[in-house]
Amino acid sequence: MVYNPDSTIAAIATPSGEGGIAVIRVSGDNAFSVVDGFFSGALLLANAKSHTAHYGKFSTINGEVLDNVLATVFIAPHSYTGENTVEISCHGGNFIAKKILSSLLGSNVRLAAPGEFTMRAFLNNKIDLAQAEAVADLIHASTEKSHRASLDQLSGLLSKHINSLRKKLLDLCSLVELGLDFSEEGIEIIKKDDLLAGLDSTLIAIKNLSDSFSTGKIIKGGIKTVLLGKPNSGKSSLLNLLLNTNRAIVSETPGTTRDTIDESLQIGGLLFRLIDTAGLRDLTGDSIEKEGMLRTINEIESSDLLIFLIDLSTKSPQEDLNYLISLTSSKFSNHKIVLLLNKVDLINQKHNDFNIPNVDFSLEISCKTGVGVDKLKEMLPKLFIDDSKIDPSLPVVQSLRHKEALEKAYDSCLFAKGSVLNGLSGDFVAVDLRNALDSLGDIVGATTTDDILNNIFSQFCVGK
């Protein structure tokens, strides 16, 4: 994206399709005069006060009335982009909105690139880069927790902590560099112990932020959950029960699921992406069954959570479990694992002696009667996030880009500490501290390259 601050841009800011209203956003120095060329109301928008809405007609250049609209005026710098902005609200529907946008586009107005309104907000210092990224996360938030984390980042919670760390590192770096100027005079500007203490506290703070990504990744991306079991163990029944709909075919005939079925639902404020797989069996069946098994194994490798279902009504449920383990044990050593003992309604005794390595919890359930399913929903989110241990005053890192920048900053601070401990010149310490500052600056956009900016904003939708 080539940023031209002198251009005026326009785009439809609402999703395509029929609805109550559609909004066309116009931003730039000429926004008011451009819209005034098509809008007729009680006064010219160029003469209107900021944050006021005006009713009128929007007509083409030939005088054809397209719609009765509301034009809301935002005078720079008090707008989303920091520029003069008009938001035109018309009746919903693709035709009207596109006709209005088409009328506006011309020699003085061009179509906005994806994310360009938010990019202008960043470049005009309305928000920093971390907040700009939170806009996209907020739009795509699908759960309560992802919404809250994105809103916290948009409000500046992460930026506040990053800028605090940058200020601390900048102070240390300034003292180290000042000490270089007085080294020949033997004047000590900052004591070694004080420098080490400052680095240690910074390292701890950076690591805490970086470690929060394990939680942030789950909050943002959800939990890929694979349902595993032998044919007719109840995987499809469990999927239907959790979704409260007949999504998968359920039959007493084994092997009705031959491909993976992918559905999502919220449990405890987290998004669980459920993968119903083909029943595990030897790779000796027909070509379709073999392909189903191979897809199951592939899903296991990229999953976060494995749910094993065992049919308690069979003659040898422990043997069935051993069989599942033998097929998949090499694939799930780093996964969360839940063992569900299904069809408890068909037996008269308890089964608490099943063995599976590294199981997080086991539960007796009945996919037919619903027994144990509420308990399952209660326990699943706790495998990944303990709400009682989350400090709402601390940010949760959701972006891999942010985590990688924090790791670089951590390594640079660690190098700086090593230089101090080894008695190296302050020049080495200063270089590492500057590198740490640059890495942290990448997060908020203080030192970010154009390539990174373009990559970030190109992933936004047009109109935002």
User: Which tens digit of pLDDT belongs to each residue from 239-248?
Assistant: 888 888 765 4
CB atoms inside a 10 Å sphere around CB 333: 9
- 63 CB-near residues (< 8 Å, 6+ apart): none
- 196 half-sphere exposure, CB direction, 13 A CA radius: 9
pTM score, whole prediction: 0.83
Supply the pLDDT for residue 399.
94
Supply the pLDDT for residue 286.
54
Supply the pLDDT for residue 258.
44
Supply the pLDDT for residue 321.
72
Supply the pLDDT for residue 344.
86
Supply the pLDDT for residue 250.
45
Supply the pLDDT for residue 255.
47
The whole-angstrom separation of Cα 166 and Cα 145 is 28
Which candidate, 223, 222, 215, 269, places its Cα nearest to that of 397?
215
Q: What is the mean pLDDT of the chain?
A: 85
φ/ψ of 373, rounded to 5, equals: -70, -40
Supply the pLDDT for residue 463.
82
Supply the pLDDT for residue 392.
84
Which candidate, 312, 357, 361, 292, places its Cα nearest to that of 331?
357
Supply the pLDDT for residue 124.
93
Q: Which segments of 222-286 does DSSP mark as H helices, in order? A: 235-243
Residue 123 tokens, joined: 């470049």
Tell me the pLDDT tens digit for each residue of 156-201: 999 999 999 999 999 998 888 887 766 655 566 678 889 999 999 9
The whole-angstrom separation of Cα 149 and Cα 220 is 8
The structural domains of the chain, ordered by start, are: 8-128 (3.30.1360.120), 134-212+395-445 (1.20.120.430), 222-388 (3.40.50.300)
Can you list the residues of the chain whose pLDDT is less than 50? 248-258
The whole-angstrom separation of Cα 79 and Cα 217 is 32
Tell me the pLDDT tens digit for each residue of 214-247: 999 999 999 999 988 888 888 888 888 888 876 5
Supply the pLDDT for residue 256.
46
